[in-house]
Each structure stands twice: as C-alpha cells, then as structure tokens.
Amino acid sequence: MHLVVIGLNHKTAPVAVRESLAVSEEELPNALESLCACPSISECCILSTCNRTEVYAVTSKHEDEETILDFMSSLGENFEPYIYRHRGHKTVEHLFSVASGIDSMMVGENQIISQVKNAFSAACDCDSTKTVLNALFQQALSVGKRARTETDISHGAFSVGYAAVELARLVFGELSGRTILIIGAGKMGELTAKHMQAAGAASVIVANRTLSKAEKLAEALNGRAVPFESLPAAMVQADIVISSTGATKPVVSRDEVTKIMRKRRERPIFMIDIAVPRDIEPSVAELDNVYLYDIDDLQSIVQESANERQKETEKVMEIVAEETSKFSAWMKTLEAVPLIKSLRQHLDDLKEAEWQRSSSKLTHLSEKDKEAVRMMMQSLVNKISHNPLVKMKEYSSCADGCEKLDIVRELFGIELDETEDGE
C-alpha cells in the first residue's frame, strides 16, 4: 500500500500553468472515473481550486505514480517542473496543512475547508475512496476545524476580497460611489463584492449565464442582474469588474474590451480575474487605462498577511504534526492486516491438512469425539497464534516494523504473494 499526493499550487506554479490542470466541478466525476479505471490505483481524490490541483491516491507501489502523471498529462502540458510529490506521512502532513489554512495563499482563509470537503464528497459519490482516503480526508476536516478552534489562524485573516480592495485602491484611491460588475455567480465573486461594498462601492451589477442565479446573487447584494448577453453594456457602466466563472475558456476578450473602452471614452476600469482557468484574456492588461489583475497578483499583499500571522501558523503546525503522527501510526497498523490474515489462513490450512491426514486413523472414535478433537486442534492453533498476532500489530507501529514483519513471514514460511492477495 502506497499513499501519495502529486500536485502543484500557487507556491510552485504560475496561474498560466495552474489553469491548464484545473478540473472544474462538472469535469470532476469523469476525471475520478478515469483515474479509478487504472488497475494500479485503488483509491483517489482530486482537490482542484484556483490555487492548486492535487491528486491524492493509494497505489500498489511507488512505480504506479507514473499513472498519475499520465493522467495529469491528459489535462495539460509542461507542468512537471512545477509539481511536488509527497509520500506516506508527508502526504498526510500536506493535506492537514492544506485543510488548516496554513498552505493557502491567504493564510488562515476559511474557504479551503469547504473545498476539501467538496472534493472528498465528490470522490465518495464516485466511490473512488475507501479505507485509507476516507479516514485521511475525514481526519483532515477534523484537523482544519481544530486549527480554527484552538488558534487564531483565521481571526482577521486576509482574504482574496480584502486583497482585491487594496489593489482597487491603488487605482481609484477611495471606492466610494464606484459601480461593481460581477461576472459569474460563485461564492468567491460574492465575497469579493461584499468587501468592495464595505469599502464604499455604491452599486452592484451581476451577469451570469444562468439569469436566475444572477438574480439570486444580485438580491443578496442589493444589486441588479443582467443577462449574460448584456455583459458588454454592463462593462461600459462599471468601474470595477470581478470575474469568477467556471468557464474553461476566457469569457472576456481583448477585442471586446477595446470596443468597450472606446464607449467609456477611456475612463479607467479595474478588473480582477480570480478564476482559474482565467476568464479575461491576459492581453487585456496591455490596453490603456485598463488595470487587470489575476490571482497571482495578490501575492505581495498576501505576504504581509503571512508575516503577521507567523505565531498562529506555528501553533497550527504543532497541531498538524500531532495529528499526522496519530494518523501515520494508524496507517502503519494497516500494513500488518494482510500478513495477519495470511498467517491465520496459513495456520488454518495446516490444521485442516493435518486433520485430513489423521482422520482416517480415528474411525474408531464417535462423531462426538471427533468433533472434540477438531475443537482441541482449533484451540491449540488459537493459542499458538495469539501472541504472534498481538506482536504483529505492535510491530506495525515501530520504526523498523517492516523488517520485523518480514521476519514473521520468514519464521512462518509465508510467501509475499500470499499477503499481497489480501491488500
């Protein structure tokens, strides 16, 4: 059994690379099904957000990791220089860090815990998780909750919305009286718009392909909804554009913005694209009086937040280390399970073979006496195996547990193939 995570995030890869590997909510079931179809992968879960794409998997051996890389190659190209790979307890530690918010761009942000939960839920719906990943993700959610309960990691944490406001202030100074246009009706766009409103923005327009969703969000923000076809006209009116759709290709092109800017008479427009893949063609930033920022442009503001929250991060790291140790100890006990099953089967087979060899010599005994002999043999097998079975469970938690379990195999003459059948 081999636990691994292979992925990339905002620390290792620019948004141009991350967006090529992003897996949308709609694409997730097919992606999980594709991974599960690989014989070498027994369990898998995909966590894909604007800041990361990670594949968690349980495979038979290290070499099977190439299957995951092949899958990632089907999503995008030229990503390998940017990936990280963690195995065993490092995988556990990584996911616990992610769920607790200390691996996020915005240290301590709360949205990641929902994203981890949704990724796990999607994997459960596709039946792609079993014993190990079920336990791992359930524990990760618990660690995330504990980090936020026992520390102040999320207290006053910077968010994407906060950073967007700071960037907008660089363009406009104060935001009083400004008009916001939200493209898409997702949670990230809503939260960013609320930060803009708190900073003084006056009105909100929402454009979404599904008008009913736009209307629902507009109502929550005391704004108005427009059909997606009216997006160019809405952009003429807006001062601030927040785009966060689930589209796989840009929904705003350079040509469109060029026409819009003429109608605006070159009045400045602030655009923040917090979608991955990006919603707005990057070349839009080359136009005069257009101030386009993407998710990676928030890094400088984020770093200030991370520095201020170092003490709380250290507290969370202690929780992560403690919980990682507990989970890793449990995982090690799983290593002994196939051998325990094989040893029990081995001793039962020996008992049965001996009975078959000797029963012809016991014809003088009654059926009741024969049964008593069989029960005595079973009792003897149970007593002989009890202490080795207890010790095997203990060995699995030791640093040199694998070596000790190999000695058990050798002592009882159990071939490795026998234990592999039980995995």
Q: State the catalytic residues.
A: 50
Residues 6+ apart with CB under 8 A from 82: 8, 12, 13, 17
Burial (CB count <10 Å: 0-12, 13-18, 19+), residue 330:
middle
In what side-by-side order are the strands of the sheet with 179-183?
A: 224-227, 203-208, 179-183, 240-243, 269-273, 290-294
The CA dihedral of 115, 118, 119, 125, to the nearest 10 degrees, is 180
Cis status, amide bond into 268, omega within 30 of 0: no
Q: How many separate helices (H) and strands (E) can be counted in the chain? A: 16, 10
Looking only at the bridges linking them, the beta strands covering 290-294 and 41-49 are: unpaired
What is the rounded distance in angstroms from the CA atom of residue 271 to the CA atom of residue 264?
14
Q: Phi and psi dihedrals of 239, rounded to 5?
A: -100, -35
Tell me which H or E stretch contains 321: helix 310-358
Output the CA–CA distances (angstroms, integers) from residue 148 to 56, 142, 191, in the order listed.
24, 10, 20
DSSP 219-253: HHTT-EEEEGGGHHHHHHH-SEEEE----SS-SB-
CA nearest to 102, candidates 140, 48, 133: 140
What is the rounded distance in angstroms from the CA atom of residue 235 to the CA atom of residue 181?
7
Paired residues of 52 in beta bridges: 9, 49
CA nearest to 164, candidates 291, 19, 9: 291
